[in-house]
Amino acid sequence: MLRLSALYRYPLKSGKGESLQHSSLDELGLSGDRRWMVVDEANGRFLTQRAVAGMSQLSALWNAAGGMTLSAPGRSALDVALPPADQSLRGVTIWSDTLRVPDAGDEAAAWLSGFIGKPVRLVHVPLERARITQPGYGRDDDRVAFADGFPLLLIGQASLEDLSHKVGRPLEMLRFRPNLVIEGSTAFAEDQWKRIRIGDVEFRVVKPCSRCILTTIDPQSGERSADREPLTTLKTYREQDGDVMFGQNLVNDGQGRLEVGMPVTVLE
């Protein structure tokens, strides 16, 4: 039987992940997931672990009021309030998307600038300012917050075990930053899924996830693997049209609640 074996939320894009036992879903995926982002103060361009590996040590815990608490080794924690949806708007760029979103204020900016080592700002995306998902996949009205392209990422536990076996050492699931982990399938069974249901919510599987250098960063230490694993091994058997694929991007149709242990049904 297929079941939901783990749930993860990433309140701050490229910050640490939170392991959850349950979560609600809204129009943009898991409630509170990647609604916050760090941008370069000078040009508004988004920052991630690809350029700032130390962001892997940046913890951002979401709260039910929509704000979050920032913390990092050796630094005092900072509570950040949810900014008004239509005030202090800042132009930002994430990949090829440009949008105007609320800035979280000078205190958060100073805290993060001190941690990262250059002037940055913290921004939030409210529902009404969300982006459209990557063109050519899904539906024209599918939306996403600050995740790379789609609201949700699913990985099969057996797929990770297969990769770990080939690499020759256990790999952490958080290295791949999924939202949903499914147990009980064969390795890479998720490649064939088109629609699934968990609880009362249906999900469309819209696109394989292409992987980058970020997968070589140890989520605990923040250090990059000297042997460029697991990317090196993934390239030997998961490359498609020049991209390395691992995991599947999903869009949820409707809102609801997820809980670890729920059965998963493949509808198509």
225-243 mean pLDDT? 93
pLDDT band at 202 (very low <50, low <70, confident <90, very high): very high
Half-sphere exposure of 139 (CA within 13 A, CB side): 8
Torsion of CA 181, 187, 191, 196, to 10 degrees: -50
CB burial of 150-180 (b: ≥16 within 10 Å; e: otherwise) equals: bbbbbbbbbbbebbbeebeeebebbbbbbbb
Global pTM value: 0.95
Fold of 3-9+17-29+133-266: M1 Pyruvate Kinase; Domain 3 (2.40.33)
Q: Are 58 and 70 in contact (CB under 8 A)?
A: yes
Residue 225 has pLDDT above 90, yes or no: no
Backbone angles phi, psi at 14, to 5 degrees: 75, 10
What is residue 26's predicted lDDT score, i.e. its pLDDT?
96
Q: Where in the sequence of the chain do the CATH 2.40.33.20 domains occur?
A: 3-9+17-29+133-266
Residue 237 has pLDDT above 90, yes or no: yes
